[in-house]
Amino acid sequence: MLAGSKCVSIGCGNFIDPRTSLNVVQEIEEYMKNNGIEDVNELVGSVTMN
């Protein structure tokens, strides 16, 4: 998981939809479940090109 401008985008998204942060957390949890990832730290600093 890489941070930076994406965090700013999420923060700005909260002005449009106050649930933006909650939606992002839910989507990360769903991604982890679908990909067999148990610890969010496994995503930190990783980049995968498909």
Tell me the per-residue pLDDT of 1-50, one tens digit each, with 9 for 90 and over.
665 557 778 888 889 999 998 998 899 899 999 999 999 888 877 666 76
* Residues 44, 41, 34, 8, CA torsion sign: negative
Range of the domain at 26: 5-42
Other CB atoms within a 10 A radius of the CB of residue 34 amount to: 8
Question: How distant is the alpha carbon of residue 42 from its chain centre?
Answer: 13
- Looking at residue 34, its pLDDT comes to 96
Cα Rg of the chain, angstroms: 12
Polymer length in residues for the chain: 50
Amino acid type, 41: N
Establish if 48 belongs to a structural domain: no
| Domain count of the fold of the chain | 1
* pLDDT score at 3: 57
Q: Evaluate whether 25 touches 10 at the Cβ level (below 8 Å).
A: no
32 domain-assigned: yes
Quick one: pLDDT at residue 2?
60
| The pLDDT of residue 47 | 66
Residue 50 belongs to a domain: no
pTM for this entry: 0.69
The pLDDT of residue 48: 67
Residue 21: inside a domain, yes or no?
yes
